[in-house]
Structure 1
């Protein structure tokens, strides 16, 4: 007969195994009876990771200074659907360019130089610039009723800016032409009906991007809100076509980043996101970047607001310096070279520290400084 102590220990072990198997089943995993030790180890590792996240999450949050902190309640306006087309190239091929011809130059009798793309009727020098411009970056289909006439043109200009910034980061040769299918609904009821017909939940959203059809549905709350949502969802489609499947922080961070794109004549600027700042300072607690990149599978279960804020802040930080842009270039080109898979958190962290050996210090210092607009 087993002693009472051993019986209690035996019952405890049995209950522990039973609980683990139930959790394993509810998580959708299948227990491998041909490799029971490996399956048990996998269950243990998952449980350990969950415990670590609970214990370490609060320790890895960077909080704004007390003087600048304001609590914001942000309705999550975007909800991308599960990507079932990971290995399908949804781009329209390479971006085509046209040559603008030569530039002619001459100097008048006062020594003033002139430049023109039209040859005058006197002797001039020719500058063979090989200057080219894109015929088109994207093919936009915008379905909407009662939109302001200028909405489509403004959207085109802003999306051209997205492509130009991408070209500055990864190189124009790496760009691909993208098909963008956007549908804008003037009423909330029609927006929600269209989303539900496609098996998604429209609650607390103003826009949803569907990978399978490379299309996005947008609720027209007002022109400014609809424009930001249209840009956000379009960036998801651009990322899908140019980069393939990407880590969630990168995909959402870039989409959030370009929402406040401004165009004036030939000048382009990107403003800090008003949902995440107050008085030019960060208004949300955010994860450190090295911790954020390890949370890719926690977006559906964790605090989405904090994840969106952290992703935007990470991209804004990286866009704020040349070495940050070099890191983004390395990541984006690596993702483009392997469009069917995402870089692992370990690989990303290694690449990150190559560019930012003192990342924690640099990021904390940067977060405490006033946010300024970016110019391109």
Structure 2
């Protein structure tokens, strides 16, 4: 008997398609009509495969979410715990996660394909270029000047502070927001939501801190940018307000400028703590600098995690001092630095950037900074 091979193959393919289609239809409709007993086993097997895959994906997502929560946390440690009665370690108020934990997530990596950049300058002219905008000493800067109160929203979770303490915190935060609005390019200013989570019980604070930022030790406050939360352990009114202002400033920085150089981020937050005083240039870091001096700017601008781990006091003192120097003498330079931070994504502002933006060689900038320190 003659068998047509092509016809058999076509029939086999057709039957296979019918079987596969029937299985799909039965699987999709398994909850709408009863299935034959013989079909329950393959359906269970398919469900098992899918559930196992989903469980694996969920575990991966959970791990990813937990890692995100540990990123970009800027904590504040207790001055009592940080003070060891050593000459150069008794003024440390803050610490951060290690470099391996801090991941810049504000912007996507640059595309390998050709990009066209566009921006509108302060005169309203639109620019098109195949290169990103470069900020220099000639870049015009127009600042916002004043900010409407409704552009700042402050929320509380955890312990709600007494009215008097809440008033102090919000007044200081608003004052700093208004202060830095005077040097912030207006196109960067946007509405801000500050979420405070306050604790009065150290055990509850410790439990929460270990869950959100497990690498932070002995802290009285930290800012977790991944969830936009400023967490404060309240010991007394003065400490509570100062810590809240510091962590709120990290939130403002993140909203307006994105990922920042650590010295600039911490310097601004440190400056904000005493900006309400009659002389904001007098800070607790002044006594330290008068006694031990500031570190060279080349070290500050090139600092890595090792520097922040081994020279923490000097790094914080000089960060505050250089921001105070810019606030006092070079508003426009600081404005352009903030503009550069906003557009450079995860890149770090380096010495050549500083020289380009300030239109001064580092040696000249260092000399002016030293002369300013001598008069503070």
With normalisation by structure 1, the TM-score equals: 0.60
Match of 1:205 among 212, 219, 229: 219
| Other-structure match for 1:313 | 321
Aligned residues of 2:155 and 2:195 also touching (Cα < 8 A): yes
Kindly indicate whether the alpha-carbon contact (under 8 Å) linking 1:243 and 1:333 is maintained by their aligned counterparts in 2: yes
Does the aligned pair in 2 maintain the 1:245–1:342 contact within 8 Å? no
Which residue in the other structure is 1:188 paired with?
202
SS at match of 2:370: helix
- Aligned match of 2:241: 227
Aligned to 1:87: 107
**Could you tell me whether the CA contact under 8 Å between 2:146 and 2:178 is conserved in 1?**
no
For 1:133 and 1:312, how far apart are their aligned partners in 2?
Answer: 25
For residues 64-119 of structure 1, the C-alpha deviation after alignment (integer angstroms, 9 at most, x for no partner) is xxxxxx7561243453672453228xxxxxxxxxxxxxxxxxxxxxxxxxxxxxxx
Question: Which structure has the highest helix share of the two?
Answer: 2
Which residue matches 2:159?
145
What is the aligned partner in structure 1 of residue 176 from structure 2? 162
- Distance in 1 separating the partners of 2:177 and 2:363: 30
In structure 2, do the counterparts of structure 1 residues 159 and 223 end up closer, same or farther at CA, with 3 Å as the change threshold? same
More moved, 282-291 vs 237-246: 282-291
Structure 1 position 301 matched with structure 2 position 309: yes
Deviations 1:188-226 (A, max 9, x none): 222221111124234232111112111121111211111
Change in 2 beyond 3 A, CA 1:133/1:147: closer
Can you give the 5+ residue segments of structure 1 that lack an aligned partner in the other structure?
1-69, 89-130, 372-376
Q: Secondary structure at the match of 1:262?
A: coil
Residues 146 and 169 of structure 1, relative CA distance in 2, 3 Å threshold: closer
SS in 2 for 1:245: coil
CA deviations 1:7-64 (Å, max 9, x no partner) are xxxxxxxxxxxxxxxxxxxxxxxxxxxxxxxxxxxxxxxxxxxxxxxxxxxxxxxxxx
Identify if the C-alpha distance between structure 1 residues 132 and 207 changes in structure 2 by more than 3 Å, giving closer, same or farther: closer
8 Å CA contact 1:159–1:231 kept in 2: the answer is yes
Residue 357 of structure 2 is aligned with which of 344, 351, 358?
351
Q: How does 1:1-376 map to 2 (within 5 A)?
A: 73-79=90-96, 82-87=102-107, 134-145=148-159, 147-262=161-276, 270=280, 272-274=282-284, 276-278=285-287, 282-321=290-329, 324-354=330-360, 358-369=364-375, 371=376
Q: Give 3-state SS (helix, strand or coil) of 1:142's partner.
A: strand
Are the aligned partners of 2:147 and 2:181 in contact in 1 as well (CA < 8 Å)?
no
Aligned 8 A contact 1:78 1:207 in 2: no
Show structure 1 runs of 4+ deviating over 4 A: none
Equivalences, count: 251
Q: Residues 85 and 137 (structure 1 numbering): CA distance in 2 closer, same or farther, change over 3 Å?
A: same
Kept in 1: contact 2:260–2:341 (CA 8 A): yes
> How big is each residue's C-alpha offset from its partner over 1:222-254, in whole Å with a ceiling of 9 and x where there is no partner?
111111111111111111110011111100100
How far apart are residue 343 of structure 1 and its match? 2.6
Residues 209 and 177 from structure 1, CA distance in 2 versus in 1: closer, same or farther, beyond 3 angstroms?
A: same
Q: Quote the RMSD (CA, aligned, Å).
A: 2.8
SS at match of 2:106: coil
Q: Which residue does the alignment assign to 2:10?
A: none
Distance in structure 1 (CA, Å) of the matches to 2:361 and 2:163: 45
Aligned-partner Cα distance in 2 for 1:241–1:133? 15
Whole-angstrom CA distance in 2 between matches of 1:167 and 1:75? 28
1:207–1:219 Cα contact (<8 Å) kept: yes
Instruction: Call closer, same or farther: CA 1:84–1:357 in 2, change over 3 Å.
Output: closer
